Chains A and B, each alone.
Chain A
């Protein structure tokens, strides 16, 4: 690859990591990761518990500092931007955020406008429009004046998504946005995220627990194990029985979804003897 091609590749990717190691204290949890997020796509980070996927997401969102290596945002080191400038390019939804008691849905969503405001210019028509758009997208208009803590888990998650959407950034990083929700709500939220990315031309990185959800909705899957990336590509290339066995220590068959053709993972317990993995895969 020539130098110019290399430069093009860097400018085309809105967010990337090179030789990145991150952790808590002295302990590196993510080790020497190099990754480029592709624009206009949903990338899903998957891997077993404790593999470092949330840690990697936090480092990419500059919430955790790198121990070595670097994160680049729009081709420049992320640390070279003031944190508020980063927040206008990149929004992040951490796992299990806290809604202070008494905060209404509208007030929570309005928090997303923080990086667009200053001490002396606190609320503009643009802010109002962004909040209304985010609430319409997440179907929250009817709940606008309700306190967030009185809502169901799925409704609450939609509020947090709306806050992140109101931030109006080209890049969105979400840490397990569907955990603890009913299957129907999980699918609704993933469909919403997919619409947001593909209709608005935004870029999204998700940490996902549920492999089938990742396979069904992500354009690209990054699989991690013990702090390193072991496999990366479209779902059908990454979700494979041998990868599942080596990364998740999971015996599973993978079949194509009869409607979408995307891979579906069918876990097998040792007692399941009916279909050997090879036959189902054919």
Chain B
């Protein structure tokens, strides 16, 4: 890499970080009552007790903006890892059944075992994501021709659809217990509590760090397993770490926001358009761009039909579906 390109990439990265910072402030200022950016800034850097707007910013709005940032980063990095390791341009937690599995498991955990707000939520989500992924790969592997991108998508759609049907039936049968879930099920950052977030934080951090550590090896894996092995990559170990990271990131995201579709698909592809195929760049850029994307989408979800709020997951799906179709036409 030439020196100019290094400087360009580094400045691009910090520009993206700055963009996320601005989106973060904007996100906080928008709401039922608009709070000026100057007040938001004041509330963050020098909060005063008893100032109502400061309390709103710190207690109500800032947590949601932080959730948006974490969820966006987690899903985008999970998608980037999956695409790199499997060399499948359509791999993503949503399409391959991980989101559906995690969501289903969280509903069981909260609705059945009443574990809301505990450390068990991300654990249930992780187990669900793993089972979902295993189901999708098993079904696709049994299809004629094995686990190709196409059979994986089909089996992912079948597993996700099936789990969603069971969830819907459960919601209809027990409206009281599951009332909280209706919004969460479509992917939402509204009404999440800080407790769940704090329990999800270690999963999020572990997944992100693991992704950064194996980024070099993922670049090699993207050139084919035998090429990577020839370069001295322990392919089995890296695939195992990548799977663990993807599961942890998906679990963290679902615990906080439910299933936000297509974030993991769209962001890595956009990043790759600008940066090429080096995962040492794709991973951190996906994290930052994914964070900014979900923050902006969450602003749109609250502003477009105000005072009605659309679920964030509905907006990410609406924006992601055309990208998905384009990728299928161009790459499958």
The answer to whether A119 touches B277 (Cβ under 8 A) is no
Q: How many Å lie between the Cα of A164 and that of B223 in the bound state?
A: 13
Question: Can you list 29 A-B contacts with CB-CB less than 8 angstroms, sorted by A residue number?
Answer: A63-B230, A83-B232, A83-B233, A83-B234, A87-B231, A92-B230, A93-B230, A97-B223, A97-B226, A97-B227, A98-B223, A100-B222, A100-B277, A101-B277, A102-B273, A102-B276, A103-B277, A107-B1, A107-B277, A107-B278, A111-B219, A111-B231, A114-B216, A114-B231, A114-B233, A115-B232, A119-B213, A123-B1, A164-B230
A84 proximity list for chain B (CB < 8 A): 232, 234
Q: Is the C-beta of B224 less than 8 angstroms from some C-beta in chain A?
A: yes
Q: How many Å lie between the Cα of A215 and that of B95 in the bound state?
A: 51
Q: How many Å lie between the Cα of A215 and that of B273 in the bound state?
A: 45
Q: How many Å lie between the Cα of A114 and that of B223 in the bound state?
A: 13
Given contacts A92-B230, A97-B227, A98-B87, contact A117 B216 (CB under 8 A): yes
* Nearest CB in chain A to that of B231: its residue: A114
Q: How many Å lie between the Cα of A106 and that of B224 in the bound state?
A: 18
Q: Which of A63, A104, A108 contacts B226 (CB 8 A)?
A: A63
A106 proximity list for chain B (CB < 8 A): 1
Q: How many Å lie between the Cα of A146 and that of B276 in the bound state?
A: 12
| Residue-wise interface mask of B (211-222) relative to A, using a CB-CB cutoff of 8 A (1 in contact, 0 not) | 001001001101
Q: Is the C-beta of B229 less than 8 angstroms from some C-beta in chain A?
A: yes
Closest chain-B Cβ to A90's Cβ sits at a distance in Å of: 8
Given contacts A98-B87, A111-B223, contact A83 B277 (CB under 8 A): no
The A-contacting residues of B in range 1-23, CB under 8 angstroms, are 1
Q: Is the C-beta of B272 less than 8 angstroms from some C-beta in chain A?
A: yes
Q: Is the C-beta of A135 less than 8 angstroms from some C-beta in chain B?
A: no
Tell me which of A83, A94, A100, A167 has the highest count of chain B C-beta atoms within 10 A of its own C-beta: A100
B227 proximity list for chain A (CB < 8 A): 93-94, 97-98
Q: Is the C-beta of A59 less than 8 angstroms from some C-beta in chain B?
A: no
B220 proximity list for chain A (CB < 8 A): 111, 114
Q: How many Å lie between the Cα of A119 and that of B277 in the bound state?
A: 18
Closest chain-B Cβ to A270's Cβ sits at a distance in Å of: 39
Q: Is the C-beta of A278 less than 8 angstroms from some C-beta in chain B?
A: no
Give chain A's interface residues, CB within 8 Å of chain B: 58, 61-63, 83-88, 91-94, 97-104, 106-108, 110-112, 114-115, 117, 119, 122-123, 147, 164, 167
Q: How many Å lie between the Cα of A93 and that of B226 in the bound state?
A: 8
The answer to whether A114 touches B232 (Cβ under 8 A) is yes
The answer to whether A103 touches B224 (Cβ under 8 A) is no
The answer to whether B224 touches A98 (Cβ under 8 A) is yes
* Nearest CB in chain B to that of A103: its residue: B277
The answer to whether A100 touches B231 (Cβ under 8 A) is no
The answer to whether A83 touches B229 (Cβ under 8 A) is yes
A107 proximity list for chain B (CB < 8 A): 1, 276-278
Q: How many Å lie between the Cα of A66 and that of B191 in the bound state?
A: 57
The 6 closest A-B pairs by CB, nearest first: A87-B232, A92-B230, A115-B232, A94-B226, A84-B232, A100-B277
A58 proximity list for chain B (CB < 8 A): 226
B216 proximity list for chain A (CB < 8 A): 114, 117, 119, 122
The answer to whether A61 touches B222 (Cβ under 8 A) is no
A61 proximity list for chain B (CB < 8 A): 229-230
A103 proximity list for chain B (CB < 8 A): 276-278
Tell me which of B87, B229, B272 has the highest count of chain A C-beta atoms within 10 A of its own C-beta: B229
B213 proximity list for chain A (CB < 8 A): 119
A98 proximity list for chain B (CB < 8 A): 87, 222-224, 227
Q: How many Å lie between the Cα of A42 and that of B275 in the bound state?
A: 39
| Residue-wise interface mask of B (156-186) relative to A, using a CB-CB cutoff of 8 A (1 in contact, 0 not) | 0000000000000000000000000000000
Closest chain-A Cβ to B216's Cβ sits at a distance in Å of: 7
B232 proximity list for chain A (CB < 8 A): 83-88, 114-115
Given A100-B277, A101-B277, A114-B232, 7 more pairs with CB closer than 8 A? A63-B226, A92-B230, A97-B226, A97-B227, A100-B223, A115-B231, A122-B280
Given contacts A115-B231, A117-B216, contact A97 B276 (CB under 8 A): no
* Nearest CB in chain B to that of A115: its residue: B232
A94 proximity list for chain B (CB < 8 A): 224, 226-227, 230
Closest chain-B Cβ to A147's Cβ sits at a distance in Å of: 8
Closest chain-A Cβ to B204's Cβ sits at a distance in Å of: 21
Q: How many Å lie between the Cα of A110 and that of B276 in the bound state?
A: 14
The answer to whether B272 touches A102 (Cβ under 8 A) is yes
Closest chain-B Cβ to A97's Cβ sits at a distance in Å of: 5
Closest chain-A Cβ to B9's Cβ sits at a distance in Å of: 12
* Nearest CB in chain A to that of B273: its residue: A102
Q: How many Å lie between the Cα of A101 and that of B269 in the bound state?
A: 11
* Nearest CB in chain B to that of A148: its residue: B277
Q: Which of A102, A104, A112, A147 contacts B231 (CB 8 A)?
A: A112
Tell me which of B219, B222, B229, B232 has the highest count of chain A C-beta atoms within 10 A of its own C-beta: B232
Q: How many Å lie between the Cα of A7 and that of B291 in the bound state?
A: 61
Closest chain-A Cβ to B82's Cβ sits at a distance in Å of: 14
Tell me which of B213, B220, B230, B233 has the highest count of chain A C-beta atoms within 10 A of its own C-beta: B230
* Nearest CB in chain B to that of A117: its residue: B216
The A-contacting residues of B in range 251-282, CB under 8 angstroms, are 272-273, 275-278, 280
Q: How many Å lie between the Cα of A83 and that of B222 in the bound state?
A: 18
